[in-house]
Amino acid sequence: MIKYIIRRILLLIPTLIGVTFIIFTLLHFTPGDPALSILGENSSTAEAEQLREELGLNDPFLVQYGNYMKKLVVDHDLGISYRSKTSVSGLIKQVFPNTIKLAVLCITIAVLIGVPLGIISAIKRYTILDNVVMLFGLFGLSVPVFWLGLMLIIAFSVNLNLLPPSGFSTPKQMILPVAALSLQSIAVIMRMTRSSMLEVLQQDYIRTAKAKGLKQKTTIVIHALKNAFIPVLTSIGLQFGNLLGGAVLTESIFSISGLGRLMTDSIKMRDFPVVQGGVLVIAIVYCLINLIVDLLYGFLDPKIQSQYK
């Protein structure tokens, strides 16, 4: 098991290096001049050229990337914001807690709702209840987050005046963004749980448990759910990563001061160090979540344990 853990941790290194190279390349070749974005379109050519030289934008691409990686690895420095002239790490530390809080609330609600709905749908297969749950899942998968967020604001904030349309500091302010962002994850986890449970319920050991006279609740919870939960666990890990990415739109719609909104504003202003730092932080969290999921596999699946003894 120790070998398995070490192997999974070592695989994070090339993944994160690949992420930094891809995002650095995309931003490098993105149309627009950061110097003009900082100084304004009315700035002189000499001023813009001097700023490009100060920022190292005139260096060859590989030199710029090498300098960025040197600062990142050696100095643990994400760089300085072009606009605010402050540390990118400091800017991210200010807003990232809200993004994590939003993602954790959404994935918690998605698991608490999606898993029970998937189990009920599998048990009540082809019944009216199953059809209703599947219709809800189809709706959740089909509705875009940004559209749902706007509709919730119109319905509950503008028309009914029940909930605030922006912010994330009070429980009331959290309801609408969490509802908008978590719906798709609920649908995905519900459908995965249903599919996995249906497969497990057809196995011989489930029939044996029923033949022994075990109650349905005992059969489902102790025998079926444990074996069905491995693919569900994968889905939960992937959904948590998707929630971090989906927070970009949600935070903009509900005016939440989070990492997603910071990155959106930074893209508009060509503040590339902030965008690079934000993407890297999201990638690190995503990789850590996948690592935790992989480690949980080792405890849930005896086959993995036997391979690395």
- The boundaries of the domain holding residue 161 are 93-307
Q: Is the pLDDT assigned to residue 176 strictly greater than 90?
A: yes
Same domain, 8 and 132: no
Task: State mean pLDDT over 26-47.
Answer: 75
Q: Is the pLDDT assigned to residue 309 strictly greater than 60?
A: no
Q: Which residues, including other chains, have CB under 8 Å from residue 106's CB and lie 6 or more apart?
A: 178, 181, 182, 185, 243
74, 104, 129 — which closes off a domain? Answer: 74
Same domain, 230 and 176: yes
Same domain, 30 and 129: no
Task: State mean pLDDT over 94-105.
Answer: 90
Number of compact structural domains in the chain: 2
> Looking at the domain assignment, is residue 160 inside a domain?
yes
> Looking at the domain assignment, is residue 88 inside a domain?
no
Q: Is the pLDDT assigned to residue 64 strictly greater than 80?
A: yes
Same domain, 21 and 58: yes
> Looking at the domain assignment, is residue 9 inside a domain?
yes
Most confident of 28-32, 121-125, 221-225, 300-304: 121-125
> Looking at the domain assignment, is residue 85 inside a domain?
no
The mean-pLDDT minimum among 20-29, 132-141, 174-183 falls in 20-29
> Looking at the domain assignment, is residue 80 inside a domain?
no
What local confidence, expressed as pLDDT, does residue 218 receive? 72
What local confidence, expressed as pLDDT, does residue 139 receive? 92
Q: Which two tokens stand for residue 7?
A: 């192997």
Q: Is the pLDDT assigned to residue 181 strictly greater than 70?
A: yes
> Looking at the domain assignment, is residue 83 inside a domain?
no
* Cβ-contact 262, 91 below 8 angstroms: yes
Q: Which two tokens stand for residue 280?
A: 């890297």
What local confidence, expressed as pLDDT, does residue 168 receive? 86
Same domain, 195 and 112: yes
Same domain, 52 and 99: no
What local confidence, expressed as pLDDT, does residue 178 receive? 93
Q: Distance between CA atoms of 6 and 178, rounded to whole angstroms?
A: 35
Q: pLDDT tens-digit profile of 231-290?
A: 888 888 888 888 887 777 888 889 888 888 888 888 887 788 888 888 888 888 888 888
What local confidence, expressed as pLDDT, does residue 41 receive? 67
Same domain, 69 and 99: no
What local confidence, expressed as pLDDT, does residue 154 receive? 94
What local confidence, expressed as pLDDT, does residue 113 receive? 94
Mean pLDDT over the full length of the chain: 84
Q: Is the pLDDT assigned to residue 308 strictly greater than 60?
A: no
Same domain, 45 and 166: no
Q: pLDDT tens-digit profile of 187-242?
A: 999 999 999 888 888 877 777 777 777 777 777 777 777 777 888 888 888 888 88
Please state the pTM of the whole predicted model.
0.82
